[in-house]
Structure 1
Amino acid sequence: MNMKRTFGALLTILGIIGIIWGAYAFLMGGDGVAVGKFTAAVPFVIGLIFFFSGISLVKTTKDQT
């Protein structure tokens, strides 16, 4: 298996987790998680960056024959 595709899949999964965590933290207003309502945007933005870079890496990497 290609290492770039594996890394892209890992980035995509981490991005999904970051997006969910950021959205949950924003909706809860900082209760129950370690971030406040306005700092909940940080894991959300990082999750978006990871998600889109992972998707891009998977899409642009060619299979080795």
Structure 2
Amino acid sequence: MNIKRIFGALLTALGIGGLIYDAVIFTNTSGSERDIKALIIYGILGTVFFIAGISLVRTTKDES
């Protein structure tokens, strides 16, 4: 069991969840300043977590 792969999968799942939540906020937004700040924050965090998780899974070698 490789801890790095599990952590990478967890980061990827969190990133996907953040991006989906960002999309939900985007569809329900009314254009206020608070909505735009939330869109930016969740979008950036979701993207960072998703990219970090994918790169961690890709670069971790399988050693059995």
Task: Name the TM-score, length of structure 1 as normaliser.
Answer: 0.84
* Alignment-derived partner of residue 36 in structure 2: 38
Q: Is the 8 A contact 1:26 1:41 kept in 2?
A: no
Q: Could you say what the CA RMSD is over the residues aligned between the two structures, in angstroms?
A: 1.2
Unaligned runs of 5+ in 1: 31-35
The unaligned stretches of length 5 or more in structure 2 are none
Specify which structure has the higher proportion of helix. 2
Report the identity percentage. 48
Poorly superposed stretches of 4+, deviation over 3 Å:
none
Number of residues of Structure 1 aligned to a counterpart in Structure 2: 60
Bigger relative CO (Cα 8 Å, ≥ 6 apart): 2
CA contact (8 A) 1:20 1:44 kept: no
